[in-house]
Chain A
Amino acid sequence: MEWYWALATLIGMVVFFMAMGIPVAFTFILTNIIGVLIFYGDPSGWIQIADNSTQLITRFTLGPVPMFIMMGALFFHTGLAIRVFDGLDVIFGRLPGRLCFLTVAGGSVFSTLTGSSMANTAMLGALMVPEMQKRGYNRQMSMGPILGTGGLAMIIPPSALGVLLASVANIDVGKLLIAGFIPGFVLAGLYCVMIFIQLRMYPGSAPAYDVEMPGWAERVKIVFVNIFPMGIIVFMVIGFIIFGWATPTEAAAFGVFGVVIVAALFRVLTFTAVKTAVEATVKVGAMVFFIIMSSTVFSQLLAFSGASAGLLKWAVSFDVSKYWFLLMMFFILIALGMFMDATSMMLITVPIFFPLAQQLGFDLIWFGLFVLMTFEMAGTTPPFGLLLYVMLGVAPKGTTLFQVAKAAFPFLVCDAILILLMVAFPAIALWLPSHM
């Protein structure tokens, strides 16, 4: 079979089965089963796909995924997240549009501590939108910053999706996680600039209001008590990796340990909170692992059928700039993201895009971050971006998907600007990992 037919068959099966509504994990299992029949010619290869299924998910490098989920869930369920918000709240004073800036600052901290875009968007939406509505903010200003900031969790370490991507693409987990640190905070800065511009253009969209502020001493105390301990947890996760004191899995476990200690010190560590956090770890982590279990076999099928090699050979035969390929991959990911979640996109595209990116001379850590950025954008792209629906679920009654998507648009522009900055100055992403 020609490579393009092989590629169309495998990708076509995945897309068709997903469109039918087969759960993503079972879509890949079914595709692998049929793929073996087509390309190996007999069902004796099935035993090999069952055997190979254990390969990827028995890697120690995947350990951070459940640990980050547990850490984020503990952070939410113990109420520590709200304390951080209270701490940040006293910093902003009577700034116009303060709730928007508070969202970006709080969301960035949440992203650092939770690594979950969905949870971030849901929590910020539930917490901030009613308050913003009460203060007379319009829908654009109340939902936009939340949608933008919610997605930050995909790139700011610790990112569970980053660990998955690095494991599936076989690149250094620690380096990819750390690579997202500077771009993540540059992006948060771009969001603040965007909010400032929107406020200048439409001053009535986020009216200033009087806030009763505590004295300076009280403010310092609140910030120290509510934010400083979280800073230590962040250091335990990111610092340990950067300084090479621990592997990402160990650093992630210490992140959980840090949250447990801080929660105990605040006397908010309850059996219910731990149980709920472990339950969330089982529901989310095991579901994702069950999906990626099939990724090794899917990559092997793409390789065995000649699809990967054929596509690579075909792609590099064109005498065009590598950035055209980058643009093409960007649009493919955005298009896929309109219909499917990031893990599914990852499984379909990683076996094709990463070898291509390597062949074209892109640094794979940089490219990994580019892919994560694109996943983030895809999550807020209509008509099916998942974060849009999460926002719609917590937005006031009567909000339409169009209004949510319109609010997200300026922040998608910020994402695009960051990608352009990363293309022009790759060091934004690569400087920190180069010191590891």
Chain B
Amino acid sequence: MNFVAQVYNKILFGMAALSGVVIFAAFLMIVTEVLSRFTPMDPLIWVLTSVEYILLWYTMLAAPYLVRIKGHVFVDAVTQFLPAHVKYVTAKIVYILCIICCVIYFTQCWSLFSEAFVTGELDTRSFEAPVWILLLPMPLCFGMCAIEFLRYLIGVDDMYSQDLLERENV
């Protein structure tokens, strides 16, 4: 069990690191593309579409990690005034609702991904790419988000225990 948890954590943090790598790569690609206009090189037309794909990958790869580090913003204007036991129960309901959302999205994204994979559907932008590449991180993201909310539901950690400045990454 410990081994499974360790592997899972490595995947979770690895995905977040990959999210950082791809967004930094997007920065480098855009700068290279602009600079290449002033050289005799052929225009790098693939950059635009690649950056568009990266934006989705960047978001999806980081989402489960953000659940883990309590990085998704929420409103505590009402819940902060609730008595401790009501707050506890509300938090558990919140986790259950989030799990339901994630499972529904996971199933829908999985069916979109598997259909695109089987049919080999192409996305035509500045170059043609298989749609499944675009959709690949989505089921992964929602599946892992569901697991993260399950951790909160059955574990002792609380998603709401974080200071405002830390939560806003300041």
Which A residues are closer than 8 A to B by beta carbons?
17-26, 29-30, 33, 46-47, 49-51, 53-54, 57-60, 62-63, 66-67, 70, 118-119, 122, 246, 249-250, 253-254, 256-257, 278-287, 289-291, 293, 338-341, 343-344, 383-384, 386, 389-390, 393-394
Q: Which residues of B are interface residues toward A (Cβ below 8 A)?
A: 16, 19-20, 23-24, 26-27, 30-31, 33-34, 48, 51-53, 55-56, 58-59, 61-63, 65-67, 69, 71-79, 90-91, 93-94, 97-98, 100-102, 104-105, 108-109, 111-112, 134-135, 138, 159-160, 163-165, 168-170
Bound together, the chains give a CA A386 to CA B75 distance in angstroms of 10
7 contacts between A and B (CB under 8 A): A26-B101, A47-B108, A122-B165, A278-B20, A281-B20, A286-B61, A386-B168
Q: Out of B34, B98, B109, B138, which one reaches A22, CB within 8 Å?
A: B98
Q: A51-B112, A290-B63, A293-B59 are in contact. Are A21 and B75 (CB under 8 A)?
A: yes
B75–A249 touching, CB < 8 Å: no
User: Known contacts A21-B76, A23-B74, A57-B55; is A47 also within 8 Å of B98 by CB?
Assistant: no
Contact B108 A50 (CB under 8 A): yes
Residue among A21, A53, A67, A344 with the highest chain B CB neighbour number at 10 A: A21
- Give complex CA distance A60, B30 in Å: 11
Task: Name the residue of chain B whose CB is nearest to the CB of A65.
Answer: B55
Minimum distance in angstroms from B45 CB to a CB of chain A: 12
Distance, CA A18 to CA B51, complexed state (A)? 32
Instruction: Check if B59 sits within 8 Å of A49, measured CB to CB.
Output: no
Contact indicator A21/B20 (Cβ below 8 Å): no
Q: Which of A51, A290, A339 contacts B72 (CB 8 A)?
A: A290
CB proximity of B133 to chain A, nearest CB, Å: 12
What CA separation (Å) do A59 and B51 show in the bound complex?
A: 9
Q: Which of B77, B90, B98, B169 has the most CB of A within 10 A?
A: B169
CB of B165 within 8 A of CB of A30, answer no
The listed residue (B31, B67, B108, B159) touching A254 by CB distance below 8 A is B31
Contact yes or no, A390 B59, CB < 8 A: no
The 6 nearest A-B residue pairs measured at CB: A286-B62, A50-B108, A23-B72, A253-B30, A289-B59, A122-B170
If A47-B111, A63-B26, A287-B71 are given as contacts, then 5 extra A-B residue pairs at C-beta distance below 8 Å, sorted by A number, are A23-B67, A54-B134, A254-B34, A278-B20, A341-B75
Given contacts A18-B74, A47-B112, A289-B58, contact A119 B170 (CB under 8 A): yes
Instruction: Specify which of B65, B73, B104, B170 is in contact with A23 (CB 8 Å cutoff).
Output: B73
* CA A54 to CA B133, docked complex, whole Å: 12
**Contacts A21-B160, A58-B52, A393-B163: A33 and B101 contacting too (C-beta < 8 A)?**
yes
Contacting residue for B77 out of A25, A257, A278, A384, CB 8 A: A384
Residues of A within 8 A of B75 (CB): 18-19, 21, 24, 339-341, 344
Residues of B within 8 A of A70 (CB): 23-24, 27
How far apart are A286's CB and chain B's nearest CB, in angstroms? Answer: 4
Indicate if the CB atoms of A282 and B26 lie closer than 8 Å: no
How far apart sit A59 and B49, CA to CA, in the bound complex (Å)? 9
Q: Which residues of B contact A47 (CB under 8 A)?
A: 108, 111-112
Write the nearest CB–CB distance from A409 to chain B, whole angstroms.
21
Q: Which of B53, B58, B135 has the most CB of A within 10 A?
A: B58
